[in-house]
């Protein structure tokens, strides 16, 4: 559906557009000929990103910055009002997210913040935009940014994993419901690999060799979305697509084979997982 949406023109709305993959996506959509509505928290980063996208866009393109806290449903509804006033929506990219530490029985405040932003922020975007996108009756796409941590759920940050697992399920249901409704709108789950974003830069001042740039992740994603793929898991310089597939198969195997939870990290299964990952 993305190719059809692009042909018809209109606007791309990108949340978390002030940096990282959000900014890379905004730049890509602008260069592809779409107007862009950049949504992020207010401040210098959003202003600089908007100026950068405006320079990349063609003459006369609609480029708007709308300061928005996506965890606030009223703010996202206001974002939708401004976007629809500016034009038809070709792309809705619910990308904004945060990373905070959590533990299974610790950091309750961080649990709430992560779920409010990472999960309910996506829900707010869907609820504010999708009914009007369906009513418009034109080709369009909805992109939700997930995480591999929401699929294989590695230990270390349970709240973040839960929030991104929720995004995965929400996007799957959205794709089904759009299909059943006969809407000219496709949904896509964008799952970056190890990508050097501002969130990572806080801990790693220089880009690790294993990480992709935001531009590499977006280029890969756009190509796969244009082909109609729903699940779009990006590789990186350390983890190949086949390695991702093995890890996901093993995670699902925990249920099918009734292994201990997260057996990939269980000492009794270390050798079995290592052999499975290397198998053809």
The Cα 265–Cα 95 span in angstroms is 29
Q: Say yes or no to pLDDT of 183 above 80.
A: yes
pLDDT at residue 207, as a whole number: 83
- Cβ neighbors of 130 (< 8 A, separation 6 or more) are 92, 142, 174, 178, 185
Residue 195: closest CA among 209, 176, 214 = 214
Tens of pLDDT, residue by residue over 39-97, are: 999 999 999 999 999 999 988 999 999 999 999 999 999 999 999 999 999 999 999 99
pLDDT at residue 208, as a whole number: 84
Identify the band that residue 129 occupies on the pLDDT scale cut at 50, 70 and 90. Answer: very high
Give pTM, 2 decimals.
Answer: 0.95
Tens of pLDDT, residue by residue over 49-59, are: 999 999 999 88
Q: What does the domain layout of the chain look like in residue ranges?
A: 2-239, 240-280
* Structure token pair of residue 267: 């000492």
Catalytic: 160? Answer: yes
Q: Say yes or no to pLDDT of 106 above 80.
A: yes
The Cα 18–Cα 36 span in angstroms is 12
The Cα 191–Cα 95 span in angstroms is 10
pLDDT at residue 13, as a whole number: 99
User: What's the whole-number mean pLDDT along residues 207-232?
Assistant: 95
- Cβ neighbors of 108 (< 8 A, separation 6 or more) are none
DSSP 117: I
Do the Cβ atoms of 186 and 2 come closer than 8 Å? yes
Tens of pLDDT, residue by residue over 9-35, are: 999 999 999 999 999 999 999 999 999
Q: Is 115 exposed, middle or buried (0-12, 13-18, 19+ CB in 10 A)?
A: middle
Catalytic residue, candidates 160, 196, 220, 269: 160
The Cα 117–Cα 73 span in angstroms is 11
What mean pLDDT, rounded, does the chain reach?
96
pLDDT at residue 280, as a whole number: 78
Fold that domain 2-239 belongs to in CATH = Rossmann fold (3.40.50)
Per DSSP, the residues of 62-100 read -EEEEE--TT-HHHHHHHHHHHHHH--EEEEEE------
């Amino acid at each position: 559906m993305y190719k059809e949406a692009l042909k018809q023109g209109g606007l791309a709305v990108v949340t978390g557009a002030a940096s990282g993959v959000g900014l890379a996506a905004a730049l890509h959509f602008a260069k592809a000929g779409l107007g862009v509505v950049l949504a992020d928290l207010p401040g210098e980063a959003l202003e600089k990103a908007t100026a950068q996208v405006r320079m990349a866009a063609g003459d006369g393109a609609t480029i708007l910055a709308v300061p928005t806290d996506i965890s606030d449903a009223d703010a996202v509804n206001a974002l939708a009002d401004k976007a629809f006033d500016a034009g038809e929506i070709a792309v809705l990219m619910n990308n904004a997210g945060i990373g905070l530490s959590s533990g299974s029985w610790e950091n309750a405040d961080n649990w709430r913040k992560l779920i409010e932003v990472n999960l309910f922020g996506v829900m707010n975007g869907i609820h504010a935009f999708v009914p009007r996108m369906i009513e418009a009756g034109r080709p369009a796409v909805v992109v939700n940014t997930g995480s591999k941590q929401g699929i294989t759920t590695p230990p270390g940050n349970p709240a973040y994993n839960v929030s991104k697992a929720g995004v995965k399920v929400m996007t799957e249901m959205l794709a089904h419901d759009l299909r059943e409704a006969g809407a000219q709108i496709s949904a896509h789950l964008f799952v970056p690999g190890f990508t050097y974003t501002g969130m990572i830069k806080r801990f790693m001042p220089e880009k690790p060799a294993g990480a992709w740039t935001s531009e590499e992740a977006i280029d890969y994603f756009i190509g796969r979305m244009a082909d109609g793929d729903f699940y779009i898991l990006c590789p990186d310089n350390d983890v190949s697509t086949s390695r991702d597939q093995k890890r996901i198969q093993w995670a699902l195997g925990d249920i099918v084979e009734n292994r201990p939870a997260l057996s990939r990290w269980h000492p009794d299964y270390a050798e079995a997982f290592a052999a499975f990952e290397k198998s053809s």
